[in-house]
Chains A and B, each alone.
Chain A
Amino acid sequence: METKPVVELKNLSKTIGSKKIIDDLSLSLYPGQITGFLGPNGAGKTTTIRMMVGLMKISGGDVIIDGKSLKDDFEEGLSKVGVIVENPEMYKYMSGYKNLVHFARMHKGVTKERINEIVNQVGLQNRIKEKVSTYSLGMRQRLGLAQALLHRPKFLILDEPTNGLDPAGIREFRNYLRVIAENEGVSVFVSSHMLSEIELMCDRIAIIQNGKLVDIRDVAGADESHYYIEAFPTASAHDLLVAEGFTVEAFKEGFIINAEKTRIPGIIQQMTAQEMQVFTVQSHRKTLEDQFLEMTGGGQIAESHTK
């Protein structure tokens, strides 16, 4: 689509013992885009992410970040990356501010002004001098975000970032990511098992199963017009819809068809003309969960808040 990718995974593989955990994974991530990373438990999401940030060694292939290979030039490659891996574990015995100073020292060119700026951005200015052990989970998440953004990364990797946040916190977090992606052109890569979350947050979704990339698709494109129709007698309703040229799919006691809005009144008219009893005609939105289950063949999902 637009411009050059910020991050490219090239045939990334991870072998532990004789088992291939990640198998030949290739994926490009673009600036300004939020890409969701979905998969059943044990599919290899966390392993992939840990390889991308240097926590695990790459067995095969490479990760290219802003043109720099992690294998050849680890320090340059990772200097453009901000990371939150699961719960951000900070040094609890130090103040939030000292934690940020600590991480700032590990990057080039992070000034005191920048630290203060980011503290204000995540709204921690009143508590930043207090010890992290006194923080609530939400505040720790904010601090986690602050440390990930300190050095103005071009690429932000988040592994299960909303774990343990309350709905308001999740919403705030989501909006914040949007702002960063759009205003600063940061490419964001979010892994999650919370499908509804990913659906609301992301432009694009990559789905992984058994260490292999199953599908990449745009979220907007996934929202086609489906309608649920329930009419009696069922058999003649089915025949009519097929005759009209729709792809018909049985669902509950009726059918789901893929149709444009303008065709719906005509169908209802025909049905009543043929003296069918029409009980329900409603637009049906396939949730990401349905699609996900379709694609992964019903792989176990740990937790779902879709409905």
Chain B
Amino acid sequence: MLNLIQNEWMKLWSKKGTWLMTGLLILAVIGMMGLAKWIDTMESGGSQDWKTNVKQELTYTNESLEGPNLPADMRENFEEDKKVLEYRLEHSIAPLEGSSREKMIMNSSTIGSFVVLLTVIVAAGIVAVEFSQGTIKMLLSRPIKRWKILTSKFVTVNLFGIMLMLLGFAISILAAYLLFPSSGGKELVWNGSEVVTVSVWGKGLYMLLLSFGNVFVTSTFAFMVGSVFRSNGLAIGLSLFIYFTGSTVVMLLSKYEIAKYIVFTHMDLTQYATGYQLIEGITMPFSLAVLAVYIIIFLVISYIVFGKRDVTA
């Protein structure tokens, strides 16, 4: 199996397109950071004292809490915010500035959206291109069962995705150190019983991991379409279409119970870290379970079709 993965990895990096994509990712991450820096310099000036800001925010939170018909989960959020804000004033701990090095590192989930696009391209082609170039007959007339070959390809796609995520993260850390000053403040959060400091690196990696969920699901879908229809273009097109329209579909269906069970509702796991949930009443374990079911369905279809297919001219 290791040999097979080595083969797929070698083939992947022998293509110019792979290097081009990796280059694009690096440029995109640098570009994104550069843009943030540019916007920051344009908006600089008029920076208030952080205590004034926190006090304003606390007043707003208090007002909100007095509102008569506040939903229970919103109320909970505001309560937590309130505790954190009060803690800041009490212990004189400044929040992180928007354009600080720490904030940039924690904001790692945007890397995921670039990586989705690139990983989908690889996932869509890794089986389909073998068919379109005719190399599939060289690959399958070997003393190796087909499921092993498909597995090596699937593993390679995910290794590629993980590698891009880590690379993107490394580049963004580098850019964060080069472009942004460290903030004196700290990120605080209410953990249920007390207010604690959030580790910048931990949060950064956690966001990265959550956004990988999207990469994993979308590329598995592309992998399935690619190996079932043997068409590279169809797989890329369909996957990206779904990726971009998914949240719209959820919005349209959000009134109905079924919205809880469609894959788009759960693909973006960062909703649990940012608090902007697409629909109410879903939890992270529930999302993970739904995603697991979809992934299994995608893979079962891929394996059955690939395993049974007669390779003709």
- Once A91-B14, A105-B6, A106-B4 are accepted as A-B contacts, the answer to whether A83 and B141 lie under 8 Å apart by CB is yes
Q: Is B311 an interface residue, CB under 8 A from the partner? A: yes
CB atoms of A77 and B141 under 8 A apart: no
B91: Cβ under 8 A from any A Cβ? no
Contact A57 B308 (CB under 8 A): yes
Alpha-carbon distance A273/B198, docked complex (angstroms):
120
- The one of B134, B143, B308 in contact with A75, judged by C-beta atoms closer than 8 angstroms, is B143
> Chain B residues near A79 (CB, 8 Å)?
143
Q: For the complex, give the distance between the alpha carbons of A101 and B4 in Å.
A: 11
**Binary CB contact string for chain A from 205 to 237 against chain B (1 if under 8 A, 0 otherwise):** 000000000000000000000000000000000
Kindly state whether residue B7 has any CB partner on chain A within 8 Å. yes
Chain B 55-83 residues near chain A, CB threshold 8 A: none
Nearest chain B residue, comparing its CB with the CB of A52: B141
B135, A55: Cβ atoms closer than 8 Å = no
B280 contacts partner chain A, Cβ-Cβ < 8 Å: no
**Interface residue? A50 (CB, 8 A):** yes
Smallest CB–CB gap between B152 and chain A, Å? Answer: 10
B145: chain A residues at CB < 8 Å are: 74-75
Task: Specify which of A53, A78, A86 is in contact with B313 (CB 8 Å cutoff).
Answer: A86
Instruction: Number of B interface residues at 8 Å Cβ cutoff, please give it.
Output: 25
Chain A residue nearest to B140 in the complex (CB)? A55
CB-based contact A56/B3 at 8 Å: no
**Inside 8 A of B138's CB, which chain A residues have their CB?**
83, 85, 88-90, 103, 147
Q: How does the 8 Å CB contact mask read for A98-113 relative to B, with 1 for contact and 0 for none?
A: 1001110111000000
A residues 154-186 near B (Cβ < 8 Å) are none
Please report the C-alpha to C-alpha distance between residue A30 and residue B255 in the assembled complex, in whole angstroms. Answer: 71
Out of A75, A76, A89, name the residue touching B137 (CB < 8 Å): A89
Residues of B contacting A194 with CB < 8 Å? none
B-chain residues with CB within 8 Å of residue A87 when the two chains form the complex: 134
Q: Which of B3-38 contact A (CB under 8 A)?
A: 3-4, 6-7, 10-11, 14-16
Neighbouring A residues of B141 by C-beta, 8 Å: 53-55, 78, 81, 83, 85
CB-CB < 8 A to A77: which residues of B? 143
- Is B296 in contact with chain A by the CB < 8 A criterion? no
Q: Is residue A93 contacting chain B, with contact meaning CB distance below 8 A?
A: yes
Give A75's nearest chain B residue, CB to CB.
Answer: B143
| Cβ–Cβ < 8 Å partners of A56 in chain B | 310-312
Q: B133 at interface (Cβ–Cβ under 8 A)?
A: yes
A94 near B11 with CB under 8 A, answer yes
- With a cutoff of 8 Å between Cβ atoms, the chain A residues found around residue B11 in the complex are 91, 94, 102
6 residue pairs from A and B, CB less than 8 Å apart: A54-B140, A78-B142, A91-B135, A93-B14, A102-B11, A103-B142
Chain A interfacial positions (CB closer than 8 Å to B): 16, 46, 50, 53-57, 74-79, 81, 83, 85-94, 98, 101-103, 105-107, 147
